[in-house]
Structure 1
């Protein structure tokens, strides 16, 4: 028997190559999980006309490659089990894949909140998940297998992936895997007692259009243009350019976030009145600054005993990633729009000169400082030192840009490069967390999302295959006018429209996000809520998976009464004194805050400003601040009767 060696051999609709040596598609590899109780397609490449035999656990099938050297065997369904060997044989070659399990397989996709790994991103400081170190002590789940699809945006559908391996959870593998998918898999394998495989294919910052295939756009011809395949297209050159562009982008992001952090000591000790520092009158006077990252420095001289007092340092709003140092030691890290307010530890200040040093990074524009509170305030005495004036600024002479294009905004490109090559790998269902990049385009998303689900199901050839998605979480994009931002509110209702399709399930997450971080660290909660959807609706477990939902409403005098469904036990509010989050509108159509009372599975809502209510909405905000829960601590889903 020959040991199988993967050969870099890409296939596309343009310029397909013939592979001389028999090999399976890259998704088939050691340690993989194959879907139980479902026909299992196994495919790959060899010489045209060659006879290929595939065998696993006494099941065998034989096919002949087509005119361009492609083959596909459909193996009969099998119950959960393993480990097995899967052999692929031709007259001249033999390949054996080891440690193959039969169990449950899910395809997880979307943008950054699905991509968010346990260890976080190297270009986003402190982006590890909640309780990261503790979670790495609970990884002994050899029945869980993980496959991360390599990033590639392609103008044509790829016949195969450009890399990727199946991995078991370990200290050197798990930190780089999707956290939400990992916690989902843990819940499933504990509840089902079988192997669970996750194929993870996501890319941060991507909209829905790149994930849709060309057929899904037939009804969007006036809204979306699918780019033409470049003339003189060469797949090998395209992949090489894509790899180079991605490496350049990663280096660019790491420079913005991390460059110069090893200079904190020398920068703190230098004088802000001397080169290379330049003095600015106000810390907020950065309108003409276009650098992606800057250093700011403030020298304070404390000559009396006040240095030993307890102090609070306020630095407004530092946009977007900011490290704050005092006398050479880091005392805080802030993500915009969280207010930079730091309770200083005892004896943090010293008699004489003290140095506040700030490094601000903004990947999508110039670094900025906003707000109007810049002071050192005593916690025990009424003493305040204004620090808004006379700061030193240091910015890089050049703010280098990444080379090449990622093409992640082009319609169909991510489907072509990161979804199509996996089809028709047998799976149980889909996990989806995407939408932030489409906030503000809810009307389009309302049509596009069901189209994506429908076409993915068609392409896999499995009618009504389960599709579990996460509704947009809470996030406050601005500190100055948070009440005027509701693009996520309308997006949430657009996402909920997909529930009209059969076998779809929605995770409400507007109560478990982080108002200051678009990437909440508590991915355990997201994985758990996806898992209970699957366990309840796919696997038939007696688990409550949905919180209460709007069913109907009627008017009784000046009160609008909402009827709820999916109510499990008694309802409660996070703020029992005043149930907030509800708004009413009359015939003029303008909404006003309203007061609400819970009565069983009904909510009575009234407003002093609306005598004759007609419409109602709930949680109509990017960052709702209070919620109604059932006895399983699942939240009432947001709704609006006018959407």
Structure 2
């Protein structure tokens, strides 16, 4: 693992993080009291010092030394630490730094938009979750929101012990995921939340990666125009208008605090530079991700964008194909009486396509959303389905991690037989004996609701009156699908269509 330390302490001063004295050895905000190192692997520690200054990092009887380069950057690799602790990390240069209460365990990045950011204080049974959150060996870190076109090397943040006093504002999905790992493995867990509500996936990718593909040229051009036309003066005027509205008693129509698009969560590369870059290279087990709502209208581009983002993070981290598990979009808005197309169904499909990358996994939650709210409160189900991937793939537990997924379609007469893979206990229809959620189309391409029957552990027969020869089949293909096909282990079948372009 190699942290791309390409800027000096001068860079930190220019971009508002304070001038670091060239006589003092220093560490980025990631390295602080109560931190967690990833177990079972070497871990980089990096920072800044005088050019040519000798720096020694010590912990648990090992010492690693290096010399700061001409820009004042230094980095060492620590040998794997035994699980547990607490340890003391000592950094020696022209001065000394001490980091106390360091643990060795499992480290996960929790990233995405508002449904990852959504705090434990706003989930179902929040009061119970909070008062029971006495886990001193779960450590929490929240990255401050900084949207910028300039890579940030550090941030103002701190690790805290998980407790009823600290957990309330932390990512619910992140905490519930981490708690399940901690309770199962009995090892310390470090959770780093850098999510940002409303963020676009394009904001999580460096500009040069986006610029290399024609797919994103219009999005980039639109944002270039928007940010070039927005000035400090315009922003000041909007702030003044908001303050006048507030002083007047907040009359209708309602106003929102004006957002500066130059520093927001939609601008390409802003979040890669502001809230991801400072983490790159830190020893982790993997990433959990919950995002896609903002990209719901750009599903075709997401087919390229999402795997590009994952591959870029892995490449920059230098830790190989670390695990990357995500949450598929939940059900949302009104249910439709007739089958049709859907932007969110297309986005879910793009998410599922990204399973072609190694060491990835998808939590299907089309049964855990709320039609009236884009932020479903049931984050417990989300975390349980996410953690199955980690428990099975990374920690060796014997369980099927993924929802059943479409494998093949065979047509004989007026019946299409759908075969699924990733089957555990066998298919069944939840709540009713009738299988609900399938639509079929003939040569005319007109989809109608279909009759469906489970035949065997992994197959469903689909047919519809008036469709003599099925050409295409869809399942749960809607923004808020009415569908009830599950594996008996409780995992819903992954939405799909056989007529994907």
TM-score (normalised: structure 1): 0.69
Give 1:82 shift. 0.5
Deviations 1:221-241 (A, max 9, x none): 45232877999xxxxxx9xx9
Other structure's SS at 1:526 match: helix
1:272-351 to structure 2, matched below 5 A, reads: 291-292=253-254
The reply to whether residue 178 of structure 1 matches residue 166 of structure 2 is no
Give 1:213 shift. 1.8
The reply to whether residue 154 of structure 1 matches residue 148 of structure 2 is yes
Of 59, 66, 88, the residue aligned with 1:85 is: 88
Contact 1:453–1:467 (Cα < 8 Å) also in 2 = yes
Q: 1:98 to 1:636 in 2, by over 3 A?
A: same
For structure 2, list consecutive stretches of 5 or more residues without a partner in the other structure.
1-8
Give 1:40 shift. 0.5
Bigger proportion of residues as strand: 1
Contact 1:553–1:562 (Cα < 8 Å) also in 2 = yes
1:54-93 to structure 2, matched below 5 A, reads: 54-90=57-93, 92-93=94-95
2:346 aligns with: 490
1:165 aligns with: 158
Of 197, 208, 213, the residue aligned with 2:206 is: 213
1:616 aligns with: 473
Other structure's SS at 2:120 match: coil
Bigger proportion of residues as helix: 2
Deviations 1:114-143 (A, max 9, x none): 000112xxxxxxxx1100111112111111
Q: 1:639 to 1:12 in 2, by over 3 A?
A: farther
Q: In structure 1, how many angstroms separate the alpha carbons of the residues matched to 2:193 and 2:338?
A: 34
Give 1:626 shift. 2.3
Of 286, 297, 311, the residue aligned with 1:454 is: 311
Other structure's SS at 1:23 match: coil
Q: In structure 2, how many angstroms separate the alpha carbons of the residues matched to 1:97 and 1:472?
A: 40
1:440 aligns with: 297
Q: In structure 1, how many angstroms separate the alpha carbons of the residues matched to 2:498 and 2:284?
A: 37
Q: In structure 2, how many angstroms separate the alpha carbons of the residues matched to 1:559 and 1:480?
A: 25
Q: In structure 2, how many angstroms separate the alpha carbons of the residues matched to 1:229 and 1:642?
A: 37
Q: 1:598 to 1:428 in 2, by over 3 A?
A: same
Give 1:156 shift. 1.2
| CA RMSD between the two structures | 2.9
Give 1:577 shift. 3.9
Of 341, 346, 356, the residue aligned with 1:500 is: 356
Deviations 1:338-389 (A, max 9, x none): xxxxxxxxxxxxxxxxxxxxxxxxxxxxxxxxxxxxxxxxxxxxxxxxxxxx
Contact 1:155–1:229 (Cα < 8 Å) also in 2 = no
1:560 aligns with: 416
Q: 1:220 to 1:561 in 2, by over 3 A?
A: same
Of 421, 424, 438, the residue aligned with 2:281 is: 424
Give 1:170 shift. 2.2
Of 450, 456, 464, the residue aligned with 1:607 is: 464
Other structure's SS at 1:542 match: coil
Of 576, 601, 610, the residue aligned with 2:432 is: 576
Other structure's SS at 2:408 match: strand
Moved more, 427-436 or 64-73: 64-73
The reply to whether residue 143 of structure 1 matches residue 146 of structure 2 is no
Q: Point out the structure with max Rg over C-alpha.
A: 1
Deviations 1:150-171 (A, max 9, x none): 000011111222x111011123
Deviations 1:286-326 (A, max 9, x none): xxxx712xxxxxxxxxxxxxxxxxxxxxxxxxxxxxxxxxx
TM-score (normalised: structure 2): 0.88
Give 1:547 shift. 2.3
1:223 aligns with: 216
Give 1:491 shift. 0.5
